[in-house]
Amino acid sequence: MILQALKEYYDRKAADPESNIAPFGWEWKEIPFIIVLNNNGVPVDIKPTVEGTGKNKKTQWFLVPQSVIRTGEKTETREYKSNLLWDTIDYTIGFPSGDNKNIAICNKQHQAFKEKIAALDTIDDPGFIALQKFLELSDKENKLKKYDKWEELKKKGLAHVFKLAGIEGILTDTQKVRQAINEFIKKVSESSSNKICCLVSGEPDEIELTHAKIKGVLGCKSTGGSIVSVNFSAGESFGRRQGSVSPIGKHAAFFFATALNTLLSRDSKQKLQVGDATTVFWAEKRDKFEEDFGDFWAEPPGDNPDRLTNAVKSLYKSVDTGAFVTDSDNTRFYVLGLSPNAARISVRFWHVGTISEFASRFREYFDDLRIVHGSKDKDHLPLWRYLISLAALGKTENIPHGLAGNIMRAILEGLPLPLSLLQVAILRNRAEQDVTYPRAALIKAALNRSIKNSKSTTERKLKMSLDTENDNVGYRLGRLFAVLGNVQHAALGGQTNTTIRDRYYSAASTAPASVFPTLLRNTKNHLGKLRKEKSGLAVKLEKEIQEILWGRDNEIKSGVPDFPAHLFLKDQGRFAIGYYHQRQDFFTKHNTVKE
């Protein structure tokens, strides 16, 4: 299913003349050097294609014949495979580069390069003729080493292409050369007599024994990894080896690998990082939802900080316009999460649905997260911001393993958020002795989605802002703790170095009976001091305490109620929301009075 969907995506891009996706037998490749030849095949320059430095460093991409897959140790007895019209100097010149120091091996590699070019039909192109003359030179190294970039080309073993001086573009850009290469690729493809039914396309094709590497998955080697591969005997069966264990034709293997590498490319807008999973997404046909999907998760760029907000507005506006309900109702949408696993790439998650289904679940997700916040905070945050609020020291590497993928799965499938999310958020509140806006939103969403899916009739859903009618013990105690903190602040101001939140939040949110009686006794002293200075405020705060402790009747009660010895996990979450709501209500009223 995954490979078929990727092949369909390739077909869609291939039908779009603006997509520029590589045709069969070709690939887009970062190549750092160009060897420039004159009409006689003599090198006249070695041009670097790399621009910028550090993070801004970019290497130019070229459309070249697909690279061959070379495996195994370098020995003098093995058969060598060369790329067509481009490669490293081991193949193009026969001179050792990088770790390769064996001249005999280089001679065999260079011979393979020349034989592959000789297999092409005669090409009446001045650039190709110049390359043939270059290969006949006996002192290629001496003619190249006078250029500055020769040492770098030799030391690092980097790939290069050829071009004719005075002609725009590289050798493989010319029409005659490209036509000859396509005919060569077609002839090789049709020459095989060993064809079977491809598992992906259902058409007869030659089996691809070793598949192209997939690059761009975070944590994978720079050379890439494989999704379909067998390189040990335990994975083989019935005498089948390598790719014949799962017979996929060369065409289908090229199509799905090219599509996936396009989605994973550095400049792709259909790729994002969700925790440790590199995630790609696409639709079966072009749709605006495909453009907006990444904005729901990723941090907006500095030059467009409102990208997420605009995407969410578009999502909600679609309820009125019917953009996701009628026009795109049957458009399939795919989300694929990948992560490295030894020499392979493992599939972390795979979600398929219609755009209207995903749009509906996204609206539900953003509704669940909505909670009152400060005037400087944004209404909507990307998933990364929520995840980083759960990490120790606010570092990405400290985000709990697998949590991001589980959250994404819950959102895309409309499931309750994982219980581990609630646990991590509560523990981070206790560690930092505070409830931040992102964590409060996550806790509210986790609790409300659990109620919705359990269809409980006794649990009360948390509202966006302060709910004075919520009688849940955890929520009320959170409100009470916030009011007691307000009393301390009003009475002492900046005269105390440690607030009750700094000292008691963790204990108050887990074992109220051990903390609240002491806090209430101390609050009486603070209220006594406050009555002498701000009697009106003292009365207001005392009424708030009375209302939280005993309810909203007019009878004034004294004493201390029975506090629970322990709060269960969900009530600890409600404690955090009650505290957060009450604090936001206090700041809102305070700002209104100042205005």
What is 278-319 written as a DSSP string? EEEEEESS--HHHHHHGGGTSPPPTT-TTHHHHHHHHHHHHH
Does one domain contain both 275 and 263?
no
Does one domain contain both 129 and 219?
no
Does one domain contain both 324 and 375?
yes
Average pLDDT over residues 372-398: 85
pLDDT score recorded for residue 595: 39
pLDDT score recorded for residue 573: 92
The number of folded domains in the chain is 4
Residue 25, domain member (yes or no): no
Average pLDDT over residues 473-482: 90
- For residue 392, the cross-strand partners are none
- For residue 273, the cross-strand partners are 278
Domain boundary among 268, 294, 317: 268
Tell me which H or E stretch contains 448. helix 437-454
- Tokens for 418, please give them: 């994982």
* Mean pLDDT value across the chain: 83
Does one domain contain both 130 and 279?
no
Tell me whether residue 34 is exposed, middle or buried, using C-beta atoms within 10 angstroms of its C-beta: 0 to 12, 13 to 18, 19 or more. Answer: buried
- Tokens for 94, please give them: 């026969």
Does one domain contain both 76 and 171?
yes
Which one-letter amino acid corresponds to residue 118? A
**Domain ranges, residue 508:** 473-594
Domain boundary among 454, 481, 501: 454
Does one domain contain both 319 and 423?
yes
Does one domain contain both 402 and 533?
no
Does one domain contain both 160 and 69?
yes
Residue 40, domain member (yes or no): yes
d(CA 45, CA 146): 9
Least confident among 467-471, 506-510, 522-526: 522-526
Residue 586, domain member (yes or no): yes
Domain boundary among 146, 176, 191: 191
Q: Tens digits of per-residue pLDDT, 275-313? A: 778 889 998 888 888 888 887 777 766 666 777 777 777
Sheet arrangement for strand 33-37:
43-48, 33-37, 160-164
Q: What is the pTM of this model?
A: 0.79
The length of the chain is: 595
Largest CA distance in the chain: 106
Least confident among 53-62, 408-417, 461-470, 521-530: 521-530
Residue 345, domain member (yes or no): no
Does one domain contain both 214 and 178?
no
pLDDT score recorded for residue 215: 87
Closest CA to 368 of 292, 462, 432: 462
d(CA 105, CA 112): 11
Does one domain contain both 72 and 180?
yes
Helix/strand/coil for 78:
coil
β-pairing, 33-37 vs 160-164, is parallel
Residue 104, domain member (yes or no): yes
Residue 202, domain member (yes or no): yes
Does one domain contain both 313 and 443?
yes
Residue 464, domain member (yes or no): no
Q: Tens digits of per-residue pLDDT, 60-103? A: 999 999 988 876 545 555 678 899 999 999 899 988 887 666 78
Residue 23, domain member (yes or no): no
Does one domain contain both 418 and 299?
yes
267 Cα distance to chain centroid: 13
